Amino acid sequence: MRPTHWRGATLPRTGKIALFRGGAVVAALTVGFCVSSVAQAQQGEDVAKPARLLGVDLDRTDAVSLAQKKYAKTVADDLVCLCGTCPKESLATCDCSWAAKGRKTIELALLDGKTEQAVLDAYRKAFGDKVFAAPPAKVEAMVTIISYVLGGAMLLAMIAFGLSNRRQPARAPAPKPVARPTDEDEAARILRRELEEMD
């Protein structure tokens, strides 16, 4: 296996490929999650869901008094527009067609004798807590944040794993230690020298 150099260190070719593939998988999952979240937000919600739950026919053209419209707007103040194009404006003040149908649903439901709590419960059942201007818990935001944090942690872990498995550059072998002469070696050398001098 031929090693390739990577930032001053030697990384086996298979390790580099595995690191690249792992990073690509994490990046693809993160991008996919972001795209699906944006697409879902832009698509908008079905405005007729709460009307069906309340038994309201949106094609009705009943006359609604000014006082009833005002009361319906106070109920709509607790809700936000989920059309997907507005920045979650109040259902009472948003100008889009989704908000207008939502206000009409509330007006007709109140005209039919439904209570404010029944209307709010129908909206919660249809869209969950995200329809409220002040939701009890920001679960959706927490899920998004946690998924980004986990994706980032996975990416960092894969990079760290790839770097820890890299091959160290080849080093020159350490020199062998030179043996110091012992007393017996020194005595043998002296004896040899003396014998040579005698000859």
Residue 14 has a pLDDT of 56
Range 134-141 contact pairs with CB under 8 angstroms and sequence separation of 24 or more = 134/78
The CATH architecture to which 48-137 belongs is Orthogonal Bundle (1.10)
> 3 pairs with which residues across the strands?
12
Q: Is the pLDDT of residue 71 over 80?
A: yes
pTM: 0.49
Residue 185 has a pLDDT of 76
End-to-end CA distance of the chain: 63
Residue 151 has a pLDDT of 86
Residue 25 has a pLDDT of 57
Residue 41 has a pLDDT of 43
Q: Is 199 helix (H, G, I), strand (E, B) or coil?
A: coil
What share of the chain has pLDDT > 90, as a percent? 1
For residue range 113-165, list pLDDT tens digits in order: 889 899 899 988 988 888 888 765 555 667 778 888 888 888 888 887 777 66
Q: Is the pLDDT of residue 26 over 50?
A: yes
Mean pLDDT of the chain: 75
Residue 148 has a pLDDT of 84
Question: How far is Cα 150 from Cα 94, in angstroms, rounded to an integer?
Answer: 36
Q: Where are the beta strands (DSSP E) in the chain?
A: 3-6, 9-12
Residue 35 has a pLDDT of 47
For residue range 28-68, list pLDDT tens digits in order: 555 555 444 444 444 567 888 888 888 888 888 778 888 88
Question: How far is Cα 113 from Cα 119, in angstroms, rounded to an integer?
Answer: 10
In the numeric block, the tokens 């949106």 are attached to 58
Q: Is the pLDDT of residue 7 over 60?
A: no
Residue 47 or residue 167, greater confidence? 47
Residue 190 or residue 22, greater confidence? 190
- Written as six digits, the tokens of 106 are 């509330």
